[in-house]
A and B are shown apart, each in its own frame.
Chain A
Amino acid sequence: MRQVGASVPPTQAQINASAANYAEQMRQRQLRQNRAIIDEAECTALKPVIRYDFPSHQHQAEADRYNEAYTEIATMLDHGKPDLLRANYLTENAYHSEFSYSDYQQAIGDIGQFLNEQLANQDVENTSNHAKNRMLFRFFSDTLQSADGQQTHYPITYDFEDYMGREDWSNMFVSKVLKTNSGQCHSLPLLYLILAEELGADASLSFSPAHSYIQFQDKNGVWVNVELTNNMMTSDAFILESGFVKAEAVANGLYMDRMQKSDVIAYQLYDLAKGYMIKYGMDKFVLQCLDKALEHDPNNVNALALKSDYCTLLLNYQLQQIGTPPLEVLKQQYPRAYATLRQRDQMYDMMDQLGYEYMPPEAYEKWLSSLNEKQKQEESKWRVIQLNKQLD
């Protein structure tokens, strides 16, 4: 047992000194803590918060229609149940809701009925695939009258005013063609395909630079190109003359490929993404649509090009906040932005490898208007005559 009082009790001076020492320690600790707080505050003040994603537009009015459209179209793709009429309606309706789906079905059904009546009443053969396609071609290019003379349908014209949808994106829509009997190289082929399904005809969508058109097989199984903007049957040479078709693009199925039904549905997801982007702006939803489209159709040139744009814009968005530091600094201090840069470069490389080349609007206009050349017009007339002959 320790003896109480064995150690010498502290003197008053010692007690005072110890208290002072303790106080000093406390003060030092407080100083250190303050300094740490200040340092941390300074650090965050020097490095502002970088937003690596576009601000989301999901909260905007009617954005829900886009989400619902995406879900339904993605399900079509994942379950292998393509329904072009429905997918097209969802895409256009998400942009602006004008009428119901049943109204849309009614409108298309009416045209289908009209065309079937025309087919039934024509003298020549009317049940084969190329007969039906010829009827569809006539719907776009001819004046047709119903049997009772009550309805007249006039040829569908090309909308020169806003063929890129820059004034109003809905000028690209199938519904616009139904309302105004005029369209352009995006809406007309889609309408053709929708009506082909009504008639039970086989026809394929094809892309060329900044353009889409229709292909179908004639009686001899030879593929025919239908250029709906000018109601002509064109040659492959015409498409190649655009000057922006590289052999790689053809070999990789970017251009002049005959797309499957599922490919066209995937293309509708691209349309959905583009409509969303125009209505609200870029955000993750756009990328989600494009990635799903590319999952089912990896060579969809439009989806690839828009995704490439997305990566470019995202990088620019990030760099605007960071400033544009040298590459090494970016790599070390902003790894997420560096990853975006790498992704953008990879997209560009992939596009190059696939043979993609951007076609400027002036070049496109010049190429499309070359259809008016007399020789092409004559060749097209000859092809139409050959097609008519096959029905005899």
Chain B
Amino acid sequence: MLHRTLLLIGYVVFPLLVTGQVALRSNHHRPIAQGEQHGIYEHVYRELTGMLEGRKKLDFKRAVFLSEQAWFDGQLDSTAFENRISRLVNLCRSVKESRTLLYDGEDKQKMATHAAIFSVLTDSIPMMLTDSSTAYHLPFLYDFDDVWGHQNWSQMFVVKLLETNAGNCHSMPLLYKLLAQELGTDAHLAYAPNHTYIKLQSKQFGWFNTELTSGAFPIDAWLMASGFVHLDAIRNRVYMHPLNEQQSLALILVDLAKGYEDRFGFNGGDFQLEVIQTALQYHPENVNALLLKAELLRKRYFNQIEANQAASVSSYLPAQATKDRFREMEQVYATIHRLGYRQMPEQMYLDWLVSLKTEKEKYQNKKITNLTKPRTP
């Protein structure tokens, strides 16, 4: 249950917040050559690798922006993005300062920050403006349309979430994490089948789950009861494991590879495979990376067969190449299965997602509340 708090913001003005419409894509789309488009992907990949290797400062917000920027051919308006983020960050700060979280642990400040981020993402917040009128910050909603980005890959993006105020289980946790970074605290992404969510650690509750799509704190049993979480996947830390900073960047690399494939198609698979390999280097159990790798190898394998049919049938080398490609692909599928991954049909996923709201009694962590009281100035 979330209280609505009236914020007294004397000095911060939120001119555009009422409509929530901020143009993040610049109005002029200048056409660029395919070579240049590919070049942008290369550049972003190098930036992210730099962060992973510690040569560049690890900035999750920048990593997210860059990976989306690549898909937009470098034409996202970074200033608008920064502005939107900093307005949200300021709002989180104001929300935190205007109230006291009813929580007794030693890490009260950290939990208050998280409570503020949670409120900003999932609740309406009335604010008093300088001219004494009231404006409302509206919560971000779940967009049930095209949840896997099959029609439009940018459905998965944080910029799309910011622009339309609606996102999905991919973009919303990313926004949470980058806001947490800006506010100087940590938040962990975690995987579940076809899903990402936020995991936090509190002195009072230990590890707990934050589900932004339905604004709740489900107990682990809900995530494990989806029916597609094999216990081995839990044992192997494939699902429900809080990702560290490098593993989070690996997640962004997977996004980059998928975005590239969406823009240019298979295209031989070299770039995607290189990106995925780097991701797996830092997160070997990243099942999404493994799935993408298996798919790429499978395409390569079938391409090889086609090439064989075109070439002479009697020569030995093509047959060996085919065998190798098959074995390579088989190994990845075997690893995926051994880790405990089981494929989940899309409709079942949506049913499961909704079940958290409909069966809140059963799955809500009753100890965690976002209860606050207004802070008296």
Contact = CB atoms under 8 A, between A and B. Distances in A.
Contacts of A243: 219, 221
A240 interface: yes
Interface in A222-275: 236-237, 240-243, 245-248, 250-251, 253, 256
A352 B201 contact: yes
B22 interface: no
A355 interface: yes
A357 interface: yes
B221 A245 contact: yes
Interface residues of A, number: 18
A240 B235 contact: no
Report the interface size class on chain B.
10 to 19
A240 B225 contact: yes
A346 to B, nearest CB: 13
A248 B207 contact: yes
B224 A247 contact: yes
Most chain B C-beta atoms within 10 Å of own C-beta, residue among A236, A245, A247, A357: A247
B106 to A, nearest CB: 10
A237 B227 CA distance: 9
Interface string B187-225: 000000000000001010011000000000001110111
A245 B206 CA distance: 12
Contact of A355 (B203, B207, B223, B225): B207
B126 to A, nearest CB: 36
A247 B225 contact: no
B234 interface: yes
Nearest to A246: B220
B206 A246 contact: yes
A243 B207 CA distance: 14
B231 A256 contact: yes
A178 B342 CA distance: 44
B207 A245 contact: no
Given A236-B231, A352-B206, A245 B220 contact: yes
Contacts of B219: 243
Given A352-B206, A352-B207, A355-B206, A251 B234 contact: yes
Contact of B234 (A242, A247, A356): A247
Contact of A251 (B203, B223, B241): B241
Interface in A325-367: 352, 355-357
Nearest to A250: B234
A300 B224 CA distance: 23
A253 B236 CA distance: 11
B360 interface: no
A253 B219 CA distance: 19
Most chain A C-beta atoms within 10 Å of own C-beta, residue among B201, B206, B219, B241: B206
Nearest to A256: B231
Contact of A247 (B201, B203, B240): B240
Contacts of B118: none
Interface in B217-253: 219-221, 223-225, 231, 234-237, 239-241
Contacts of B201: 352
A241 B206 contact: no
Contacts of B225: 237, 240-241
Contacts of A256: 231
Nearest to B204: A352
A246 B207 contact: yes
Nearest to B203: A352
A60 to B, nearest CB: 38
A250 B206 contact: no
A223 to B, nearest CB: 9
B240 A357 contact: no
Nearest to B190: A247
Contacts of A352: 201, 203, 206-207
Interface string A81-123: 0000000000000000000000000000000000000000000
A245 B239 CA distance: 14
Contacts of A250: 231, 234-235
A237 B65 CA distance: 39
Contact of B237 (A242, A245, A246, A251): A251
A100 B331 CA distance: 56
Contacts of A357: 206
A247 B206 contact: no
A237 B226 CA distance: 10
A355 B201 CA distance: 10
A251 B235 CA distance: 4
A352 B219 CA distance: 15
14 contacts: A237-B224, A237-B225, A240-B221, A240-B224, A242-B221, A243-B221, A245-B220, A245-B221, A245-B224, A246-B220, A251-B237, A253-B235, A256-B231, A352-B206
Given A243-B221, A253-B235, 9 more contacts: A240-B225, A241-B221, A245-B224, A246-B206, A247-B207, A250-B231, A250-B234, A251-B235, A352-B206
Interface of B: 201, 203, 206-207, 219-221, 223-225, 231, 234-237, 239-241
Interface of A: 236-237, 240-243, 245-248, 250-251, 253, 256, 352, 355-357
Pairs of residues from A and B, 3 with the lowest C-beta to C-beta distance, nearest first: A247-B240, A352-B206, A250-B234
